[in-house]
Structure 1
Amino acid sequence: MTKTIPVIPRAAAMDVRPQGLAGAETAIESPPPSVAVGNRSPTSADASVGGRIKELRRAAGRTQKEIADIVGVTGAQFHRYETGATRIATSRLLGIATALGVRPEVLVGTAAPRSETLVDFTDGATDELVELVQVFSTINDPRRRHALMAFARAVARGQPLAAPGAAPAPE
């Protein structure tokens, strides 16, 4: 004898309203879409983090494969991170932030707005150093920050600088 099991649609199976209250509708509060309830499915917050990762990666001129190799995941897995299809473990998020040259809070959107008085130096700091750090902290474009750092490193190494309009110095 074959036993037949009724199939209940998933939506009906999840309906937790009390039965038997004629005409009474019970409001069921659902959590915001950015919160995962009892599962590990990606949320809108994961998609938001992925979007920021993609934006920063593109601004840095890097490919998904390059960052994936640095972080230690496949290119396909990194693509799923960027699209928000897969949640990102904290250790991976830290690796991605390092690979992109940003602080982790930049990726998750919790970076506090920078104020003009963030810099607190001890004795010996010059006004130029304080101003340089304050100006650098206002640069949001990772490519421009990278270019400025490359320039500063070249100056610190004592490489000759070309005058505006002059031919580059031979290397």
Structure 2
Amino acid sequence: HYTHHVLVMAAVPVICAFIGTTQLGWNFGDGTVVKLSLMTGLALAVLFYAVMLAGVAVMGRVIWWMARSYPQRPSLKRCMVFAGYVATPLFLSGLVALYPLVWLCALVGTVALLYTGYLLYLGIPTFLGINKEEGLSFASSTLAIGVLVLEVLLAITVILWGYGYRLF
């Protein structure tokens, strides 16, 4: 169920990033460390959480909209649940934010994105009741839009966590 799974899973990277950035600080690999205050970290964590939930909701709506021509079109709620389950590797990759080393977060995030794509390619044909060839096309389009949404979320995250301490 969306409310249970996504709300809990989206909290994993938020809590880990909060702990990592307020206790250890962002490590850029050159000796530069940016540590956030507790209040700044809390404000950014709330925004980060809302942005991630919005990202899953957008992807659920994208899947629902793209499935409009299929006779067994799932409900919007089911599409959001599907988007949430497919995004699970991305949520779990947030565990690495406990030790916020930029290159490590990028590496783990890339692996999580690849596995998320695999789950999408595997799950779309079954979820929509379509053949694998059509599923490949649908999943490729969804993945392309998903990567775009992810890039927007990453940009917002970088701005919030990287420069947000100056804004709050």
Give 1 or 2 for the bigger CA radius of gyration: 1
Task: Determine which structure has greater relative contact order: mean sequence separation of CA pairs < 8 Å that are 6+ residues apart, divided by chain length.
Answer: 2
TM-score by length of 1: 0.27
TM-score by length of 2: 0.27
